[in-house]
């Protein structure tokens, strides 16, 4: 008989995370930015109302995306691009953060930084703001909480029991050797956790097609993808809904996820370690009633929402390989730490628990 995991977080862990967390909250409206920083224990906190030059911020964020693209194409040897990324990160930091917030971030000994953003600001790579010589994602473990006018796609909760199942899809196109090594390392590390009893059962695949993903993905509790991502903007052919994973024989896209809504529950956690898998554009607001908007626009927004809410895409992992340290694959570290944390803290009760941990 399967042993069910406990259904509550340990209160000591909740207290520990609460005491080691700071929040950076920002909202934008008509070339203005309201931004503040606070801790969970603050009853009253200060925010600043600043001018925000949207065009310049958009241009700087775009420049950062292009620098990331060049850097990822050159692999870990892209030193010039990495320095350029830091330079652009400092520029964006100066555009968005007042001196008081910079100082608080610089002096903080918190372990976690949670970004609370509205949908006008999600396209900004906040994790790559550079304070002094470090990106925020190097200083802190980071996550995002986003409020939006869009309807949020809701899925069925997944019932988790021991042993957990993990599907590792690594280097499906056969042209990214480091992704293959990442998948093998995760497989070996998770298999090693089963010394006394079967806690998690890993499965490693490489040459996977989009149809095989559609067929198999709902059969697993965890999914780890290591490979190429294909980012499409709203102005590209097919729009943002064609963004997704590059697989053998085609792409697994946001549209595919949209069609899979309902029925059996999706995996509890999907870790997408692919370039640009964390990238998004501005989520434009539209005052027209939903029924009055073009059907293709509604579909694209819903599909994009599905992609954003069902997948964990680690933006910070893109740069860790360029930090000047000896190379250690961040995808392996992040997923293994998450698995060990969840197993230790019995983090399987409800989606809100998993969201807090992420």
Looking at residue 32, which CATH number applies to its domain? 3.30.420
Q: According to the model, what pLDDT value does residue 18 have?
A: 60
In a domain, 154, yes or no: no
Tens of pLDDT along 229-281? Answer: 877 766 767 666 678 899 998 999 888 888 887 778 888 888 888 776 655 55
CB-CB neighbours of 47 under 10 Å: 16
Q: Phi first, then psi: what are they for 52, rounded to 5°?
A: -130, 120
Q: How far is CA 318 from CA 25, 85, 136, 321, 322, in A?
A: 24, 11, 13, 7, 8
Residues 203 and 99 in one domain: no
pTM over 0.75: no
Residues 127, 186, 163, CA angle at the centre, nearest 5°?
110
Domain that holds residue 345: 164-357
Q: According to the model, what pLDDT value does residue 240 have?
A: 66
Residues 128 and 135: their CA atoms lie apart, in Å, by 5
If phi > 0 it is left, if psi is from -120 to 50 it is alpha, else beta; for residue 304 that is alpha
Q: Phi first, then psi: what are they for 354, rounded to 5°?
A: -65, -40
In a domain, 11, yes or no: no
Q: Residues 6 or more apart from 315 whose CB is under 8 A from it?
A: 125, 127, 128, 137, 278, 279
Give the pair of three-digit tokens for residue 37: 């920083």
Strand order in 47-51's β-sheet? 47-51, 32-38, 21-28, 112-118, 141-147
**117, 147, 177: which is the final residue of a domain?**
147
Residues 123 and 186 in one domain: no
Between the two ends of the chain, the Cα-to-Cα distance in Å is 30
Residues of the chain with pLDDT under 70: 1-19, 69-79, 153-155, 233-234, 236, 238-241, 276-358
Residues 129 and 229 in one domain: no
Residues 244 and 337 in one domain: yes
Residues 71 and 335: their CA atoms lie apart, in Å, by 23
Residues 128 and 176 in one domain: no
In a domain, 244, yes or no: yes
Residues 190 and 237 in one domain: yes
Residues 81 and 228 in one domain: no
Q: Residues 6 or more apart from 150 whose CB is under 8 A from it?
A: 119, 283, 301, 302, 305
| Block residue for tokens 């697989």 | 247
Residues 112 and 140: their CA atoms lie apart, in Å, by 5
Tens of pLDDT along 51-61? Answer: 988 888 888 88
Residues 241 and 321 in one domain: yes
**115, 147, 179: which is the final residue of a domain?**
147
Q: According to the model, what pLDDT value does residue 216 have?
A: 95
How much helix, strand and coil, in percent to the nearest 5, is found in the chain? 40, 20, 35
Nearest to 2 by CA among 127, 164, 130, 113: 164
Burial label, 126 (beta-carbon count in 10 A; 0-12, 13-18, 19+): buried
Residues 124 and 89: their CA atoms lie apart, in Å, by 11
Q: According to the model, what pLDDT value does residue 201 have?
A: 92
Residues 117 and 251 in one domain: no
Q: According to the model, what pLDDT value does residue 332 have?
A: 57
Burial label, 97 (beta-carbon count in 10 A; 0-12, 13-18, 19+): buried
Residues 130 and 172 in one domain: no
**85, 118, 147: which is the final residue of a domain?**
147
Residues 199 and 127 in one domain: no
Burial label, 6 (beta-carbon count in 10 A; 0-12, 13-18, 19+): exposed
3-state secondary structure of 224: strand
């Amino acid at each position: 008989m399967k042993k069910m995991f406990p259904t509550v977080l340990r209160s000591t862990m909740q207290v520990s995370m609460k005491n080691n967390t700071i929040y950076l909250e920002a909202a934008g409206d008509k070339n203005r930015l309201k931004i503040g920083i606070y801790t969970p224990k603050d009853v009253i906190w200060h925010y600043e109302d600043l001018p925000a030059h949207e065009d310049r911020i958009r241009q700087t964020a775009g420049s950062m995306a292009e620098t990331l693209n060049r850097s990822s194409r050159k692999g870990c040897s892209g030193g010039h691009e990495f320095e350029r990324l830091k330079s652009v990160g400092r520029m964006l930091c100066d555009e968005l953060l007042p001196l008081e917030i910079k100082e608080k971030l610089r002096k903080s000994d918190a372990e976690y930084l949670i970004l609370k953003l509205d949908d006008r600001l999600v396209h900004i790579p906040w994790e790559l703001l550079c304070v002094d010589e470090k990106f925020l994602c190097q200083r802190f473990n980071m996550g995002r909480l986003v409020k939006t006018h869009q309807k949020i796609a809701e899925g069925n909760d997944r019932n988790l029991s021991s042993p957990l199942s993990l599907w590792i899809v690594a280097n499906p196109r056969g042209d990214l050797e480091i992704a293959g090594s990442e998948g093998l390392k995760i497989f070996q590390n998770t298999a090693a956790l089963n010394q006394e009893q079967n806690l998690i059962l890993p499965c490693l695949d490489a040459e996977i097609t989009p149809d095989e993903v559609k067929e198999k993905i709902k059969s697993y509790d965890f999914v780890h993808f290591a490979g190429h991502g294909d980012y499409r903007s709203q102005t590209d052919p097919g729009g943002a809904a064609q963004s997704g994973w590059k697989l053998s024989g085609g792409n697994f896209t946001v549209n595919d996820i949209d069609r899979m809504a309902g029925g059996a529950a999706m995996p509890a956690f999907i870790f997408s370690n692919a370039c640009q898998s964390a990238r998004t554009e501005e989520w434009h607001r539209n005052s027209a009633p939903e029924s009055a908007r073009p059907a293709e626009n509604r579909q694209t927004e819903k599909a994009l929402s599905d992609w954003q809410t069902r997948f964990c895409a680690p933006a910070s992992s893109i740069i860790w390989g360029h930090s000047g340290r000896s190379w250690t694959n961040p995808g392996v570290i992040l997923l293994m730490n998450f698995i060990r944390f969840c197993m230790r803290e019995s983090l399987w009760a409800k989606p809100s628990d998993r969201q807090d941990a992420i």
